[in-house]
Structure 1
């Protein structure tokens, strides 16, 4: 029987790669994003066997009604075996100059979005008695504060790591596992924006900042979205059924805990 997974923020970056990797492994993928055009493009690029029917849905991860509608609709029609909370945003600014509006928006998407969607997914899984898996995309910035110009992002991702543990503890009685993945310097459109912001804030070039990211990574390369996607695939597989509440570092050694 084909299993179904929902991936948030799958219109680009890590989410798009996660959707592609899971489709290749036989999962039926529901691609969600706040950008309909991007979600459609991701679905169009997914491989599909005869038993796979990929779909997309527009989703504002911070809207409880929106999340509940997607979760219940998918559970009712396709079953719901896994949910990947990937949607996230970032904005770089010095802590002393960071506007509170940016803090509010970052936490609304990065932390509230995981709470809202995780709750909606779990409710649907419990209702249909699915022994499912939830994976939250955090960051190595969720394990250390030594990250320049991203105080609001750091706060949100530390929150995701803690929320993952709380969810795992309470959902264990329903045989639902909850884990987070903590990537490092991943080559995505988000990183391209961050390179430009950081270069401007440091008074240097994007190439120099990029090289610093590589220098900070013992494996001596930037991370690819596929590096993250493969770990997500493991965490929602049967091989990981006795892993819950963990924050798995996938960063080439850039931060070791």
Structure 2
């Protein structure tokens, strides 16, 4: 057995693909999501020992309780994929404080809490653990209509780098993935919002995503998940503090 990975936002999209990829690599899988019922159904498609936990990443106690439950089931957690995220779309000058807080509470504070709990767990159990955070293409270049989302994901990169520097001495590695235009339920919502805001059609917006991608297709959750599993593996043993672009060439710096 390779270890046990704890994944947030695991009910669908990148989180579920991550669970399946980690399962194929021989991990136990602790799947967590705010929607525990959907996560339970998703776990049935994962070919590995799994546990399911209802977690609100805005609530640190919720994460701590889930870690304790997963540890009781599998023993110490060795890897964490902090993936839970949200978005909504508006023009920058139309954003409300509630819009800003919604994105930062989940995307930034949720990663902060999940990582804090993870590092504490690793130190308690003497584990040289690995964390992979889900950032975004929008964490590398500001995204129009997603200014607040971009800001929250830039925060994830800064946090990832700082945490990696602080805990490298403990043998703990912390990296991030920066996906591009990934076909997920979140993207489906964003396409509809963007079409409405730009006076376009969902079909035209979707086509524009492909046109911006040098590799010439829409990204899949599996494209991201396989990189997450690599970063968690010993193959990435000398990588920490990185924000790895998984964008099909949309962003290359």
Q: 2:116 aligns with which of 111, 119, 129?
A: 119
Alignment of 1:6-155 (within 5 A): 6-48=6-48, 53-78=49-74, 79-145=76-142, 147-155=143-151
- Contact 1:75-1:124 within 8 A present in 2 as well: no
SS for the counterpart of 1:88 is: coil
Q: Distance in 2 between matches of 1:39 and 1:77?
A: 17
Q: Distance in 1 between matches of 2:41 and 2:72?
A: 25
In structure 2, the gaps of 5 or more residues are none
In structure 1, the gaps of 5 or more residues are none
1:176 aligns with 2:181: no
Q: Distance in 1 between matches of 2:73 and 2:33?
A: 20
SS for the counterpart of 1:93 is: coil
TM-score by length of 1: 0.96
Q: How far 1:71 sits from its partner (Å)?
A: 2.1
Q: Distance in 1 between matches of 2:99 and 2:198?
A: 20
Q: CA RMSD in A?
A: 1.0
Partner of 1:186: 182
